[in-house]
Structure 1
């Protein structure tokens, strides 16, 4: 079979010859008891850079020894890109949320052999899920592989925004010592009201990590948490997003992107936020109306916005989030730490091993199977597509 793998570019200085740490912490299970990916083999050392083109997710030896063809590229956007040309006779396509290859209906229809789209990570909205259902293409992802990585990133971004760390860091880098400027937008997080929209694996982990900061915790989710967890963490449940945003100083977005959540944070919803609130978004950029967010940061309705996700990805160079005031944006790195890469590379290999052997793929990994939402997909997504507008990624200039 032919496997097409789209990964982000190598480091500008070339692949590392060594790494800061010699080994990763040994973990066996996730907090809910689910085991980490368990492939039968592994052709990399955990802690290596695997998510870029030269890293190849550690798959080449395994696939070629098994008689398959592996094509790896970072050329994924615009007419005539390598990914589009190679997709037409591919059996499997692998892409990452951090550097997504948008598998639209048109692209799917150009690839009659396509059987499966694998997300090396979590979040498969870069695949037209409705088209996948219509064309019998299964969609799978490595559920939970980087959830805790993202939760750590959320905590970091909360503190960066509320304490206004970026301003202070820039003052030092510029050779200054302007303390009044450094602290004029800096607050303590203690005592604030912190809320999350969606309290799944990432959102709930963030709440647990924030509890020691002595804050008030809130959540909204269409699947209410058990009462025991609400009591343990002192959570306040909100039935609507509007209710949550009206009382929270910090609003975290951890829900999946699908037609129901696309542009959920528009001018109307932002106007219902507590004046001066901070928004953290490590879910998907398209959940927010980019221009509405920028307007709110300009007006002061929002004190700041820290996102790790954009739409499309990479975003055009003139994307308004690059230059709006009081932002703490990162280039979708929350779930692709070297620690996380080892897990999602193992997970992709586990999925491939099961597929080639005709064995069942873990139910938790399933998003679309046999023409319908399945597994985690049935729990988290709705039918339809959120890939519209992704062609704008071709406007990114390196």
Structure 2
């Protein structure tokens, strides 16, 4: 099934009709479909196994659904799984997140109710690596500026300021060489880039050779030598504002910062200051805090900054697989089995 090729009729339980009563034989999940939630075109595989109760319907008829919902699907920032919600769902068995990052979920709190947490790892790796390369190329070659020129040009001549930079032969520093970071390195290797990386643990020599990557034990070395610095780490207390004023000052004045991890990994105030002082050349961000940024945020005023609304996994293929993986985890939960992708702390 492909979102742009096929329209799926979405049925949300709303009343006590015979048809709805029949669907109630399936286990119930709480999810938001449509606005800020799962796109309706991906719901066929969910409805095959579950009755979907929208959060809006649940809020209106909480007493009716409280003892029926067994799984919560979390997709984006549709609603918050807090103590109040957990207390109202005595039959809840799992909270399943669409995506890898679960920093928005209070896992100890959820687990304290005897509820498991699942996510969809590995599914997002290629799409996220692709967006990292896309941001680097778009920033280096000034793709956005070129498109704006074509649409709104006041003359036929490109200005000197429209000159971009070659990616081939440049040095890419990858902070975080996990699964996604390594896939970024594979792609960059195909562009004949020089690759540096900093990670908690060094990769095997054969893995380094395969992509031509050189390990930097100290983050400072990577920052000083890289033309492009791409951040690909999980958000944790150790990585919160990992890139701040000190780190930005270590970068080349011709350097570009690319963040495809989590917004809070970069100190945005420090980034604004570095851009204003021209301490670095540019930035390309798939993630920010908050998401999306307010329209008057300083980062949106820079012509040398690209800001996306967290689109790293925003593809038809990846989203479909994510939903299918969520269903797999949910089925395991309602059947009393181990979640294939349980998140443990």
TM-score by length of 2: 0.81
Do the aligned residues in 1 keep the contact of 2:127 with 2:312 (CA within 8 Å)?
A: yes
Q: What is residue 5 of structure 1 aligned with on the other side?
A: 31
Alignment partner of 2:47 out of 48, 55, 61 = 61
The answer on 1:340 being equivalent to 2:311 is: no
1:86 & 1:295 partners in 2: Cα distance?
A: 53
Do the aligned residues in 2 keep the contact of 1:171 with 1:182 (CA within 8 Å)?
A: no
Q: Matched residue pairs, number?
A: 316
Listed one character per residue, the Cα deviations across residues 238-266 of structure 1 (whole Å, up to 9, x for unaligned) are 22333321221111111111221111112
The answer on 1:71 being equivalent to 2:53 is: yes
Do the aligned residues in 1 keep the contact of 2:235 with 2:265 (CA within 8 Å)?
A: yes
Do the aligned residues in 1 keep the contact of 2:102 with 2:119 (CA within 8 Å)?
A: yes
Listed one character per residue, the Cα deviations across residues 16-44 of structure 1 (whole Å, up to 9, x for unaligned) are xxxxxxxxxxxxxxxxxxxxxxxxxxxxx
Aligned-residue CA RMSD in angstroms?
A: 3.0
CA distance 1:227–1:60, change in 2 (3 Å): closer
Q: What is residue 94 of structure 2 aligned with on the other side?
A: 116
CA distance 1:56–1:183, change in 2 (3 Å): closer
Q: What is residue 303 of structure 1 aligned with on the other side?
A: 281
Listed one character per residue, the Cα deviations across residues 134-189 of structure 1 (whole Å, up to 9, x for unaligned) are 444322111111210111111111011111111111111103433124524x1111
2:144 & 2:31 partners in 1: Cα distance?
A: 35
CA distance 1:109–1:287, change in 2 (3 Å): farther
Q: Compute the displacement of 1:299 (Å).
A: 1.6
> What is the DSSP-based 3-state SS (H/G/I as helix, E as strand, rest coil) of the residue aligned with 2:281?
strand
Which residues of structure 2 form unaligned runs of 5+?
1-26
Q: Compute the displacement of 1:55 (Å).
A: 3.2
Bigger-Rg structure (1/2) = 2
2:118 & 2:257 partners in 1: Cα distance?
A: 29
Listed one character per residue, the Cα deviations across residues 88-135 of structure 1 (whole Å, up to 9, x for unaligned) are 7754221224x4644356765665654322111221111123433444
Alignment partner of 1:285 out of 257, 263, 286 = 263
Do the aligned residues in 2 keep the contact of 1:7 with 1:96 (CA within 8 Å)?
A: no
> What is the DSSP-based 3-state SS (H/G/I as helix, E as strand, rest coil) of the residue aligned with 2:197?
strand
- Greater relative contact order (CA < 8 Å, ≥ 6 in sequence): 1
Listed one character per residue, the Cα deviations across residues 28-82 of structure 1 (whole Å, up to 9, x for unaligned) are xxxxxxxxxxxxxxxxxxxxxx932x33543452244xxxx42235x8xxxxx88
Q: What is residue 147 of structure 1 aligned with on the other side?
A: 125
TM-score by length of 1: 0.71
2:151 & 2:66 partners in 1: Cα distance?
A: 49
Q: What is residue 51 of structure 1 aligned with on the other side?
A: 38
Do the aligned residues in 1 keep the contact of 2:275 with 2:282 (CA within 8 Å)?
A: yes
Alignment partner of 1:131 out of 82, 88, 109 = 109
CA distance 1:85–1:194, change in 2 (3 Å): farther
1:295 & 1:162 partners in 2: Cα distance?
A: 21
1:251 & 1:109 partners in 2: Cα distance?
A: 44
Q: What is residue 324 of structure 1 aligned with on the other side?
A: 302
The answer on 1:95 being equivalent to 2:81 is: no
Alignment partner of 1:171 out of 141, 146, 149 = 149
> What is the DSSP-based 3-state SS (H/G/I as helix, E as strand, rest coil) of the residue aligned with 1:367?
coil
Q: What is residue 6 of structure 2 aligned with on the other side?
A: none
Q: What is residue 273 of structure 1 aligned with on the other side?
A: 251
